[in-house]
Amino acid sequence: MSGKIAMGNRTPCGVLWVLLLAAGALAAAPGVPGRPREWALPVQEGSSLTGLRAVAEGRLVFLGETVFKKGPTGDDARPRFILHMLDTKTGRFSDEAKPFARAMAGQKIGYHFAVPSPDGQYIVFGVSTQPGPGTRTAYLLDRGSGTTRKLAERLADKPVWAGRKLYIGCLTPDRRLGPIQVFDSAKGTLAPMKLCGLVGAADATGQFLVCAHDPKDPTTPLGRREFRQKAVTAVISPDGKLVRERATAEPTHTPPVFSPSGKYLAALHLDFADLRPPGVGPKPPPKSYLEIVEIGGEGRWRIKGEAWPKAVSDTGEVVAAHKDEKPGQEEIKIWDAKGNSRTLARGARYSTVAGGTLYYVTGRPKPVLKAVQLEAAK
């Protein structure tokens, strides 16, 4: 078993995605894990953790924390957002949200996400200054200069980096899915694509997977209901040509991941009946499944159950997070093309893959970040 792996992150379900493919920058293959490295996380008990991401070939690891503090009346919680960044070479943590908080001083804002660029130079913050859907705004923080820039309003979902470019899905004023905005950090330019839809995960090339009601005419803004009912997936080349229609068996509700060369796609198709709490009505047989697709060929197979993809290699092995026996925890497994699996880690709360390394958070009330090298099996 060999091949490079590309990274993916667990995100909230319930939306469809546009996903950009890439030939890979990561340089290790899934295999037998070595001894984990560990770092105690400087987080407060009772806080909420979100958005574990590793960039810069796994050198920088980001984790969001929301701390709730009581206000003057004793009953109004005032959240504070901290973006922890670990430099795995030095072992030092820093709060990368501080410069942005200073730039937004005096404004009441709610944080939704923080997305670092692949090299760690930029961070995109998604915030809202008023309640209600469609009110989120994207701001770009340059970590080197400390400057902040507003990029886009009425976000449809999290923006996605593809090398030096950022893809932003936005809503039109009448709340339909409008043209995707593209920010080029090298040039400092922002321009719309002739493509309407949502944006998922991305790497370094321009080929992408689009969810649209008609991939042959993807420029018309889409209503949410129409999008949910009629959306199909299609692979589009960087110059806008249709490469493969209906790339997945059905639209995916989570961001798929691609192998470094774009040869394979791994996507979770989630049946929401599988998420029903115990004791709430009869529990039907699970219908969720993880689908692995060979983009340029006929290869296609499934793994039954709710398995959230983290990485897939150019030879078809996939790393995914499966439900653990304990609520709120995951078991990280690796599957080969024949459906054989083995466990890489247990008790994970959050996980991501970058630079040939699996990073995951485990433990309560004092969580620990662990890193397991995904070595090539001999």
pLDDT, one tens digit per residue, over 28-57 is: 344 344 578 999 999 998 899 999 999 999
Q: What is the reported pLDDT for 48? A: 92
Q: What is the reported pLDDT for 319? A: 94
Q: What is the reported pLDDT for 375? A: 63
**pLDDT under 50: residue ranges of the chain:** 1-33, 376-378
Q: Is the peptide bond between 12 and the residue preceding it cis, with omega within 30 degrees of 0?
A: no
Q: What is the reported pLDDT for 12? A: 34
What domains, with CATH codes, occur in the chain? 19-373 (2.130.10.10)
- Asked if 18 and 201 touch (Cβ cutoff 8 Å), the reply is no
Q: What is the reported pLDDT for 20? A: 40
Residue 15's Cβ-count burial label (10 Å; 0-12, 13-18, 19+) is: buried
Q: What is the reported pLDDT for 275? A: 52
Residue 236's Cβ-count burial label (10 Å; 0-12, 13-18, 19+) is: buried
Residues with Cβ within 8 Å of residue 90, at least 6 apart in sequence: none
Q: What is the reported pLDDT for 257? A: 83
Give the chain's largest Cα–Cα span. 63
Residue 26's Cβ-count burial label (10 Å; 0-12, 13-18, 19+) is: buried
CA dihedral 100, 42, 363, 350 (to 10 degrees): 20
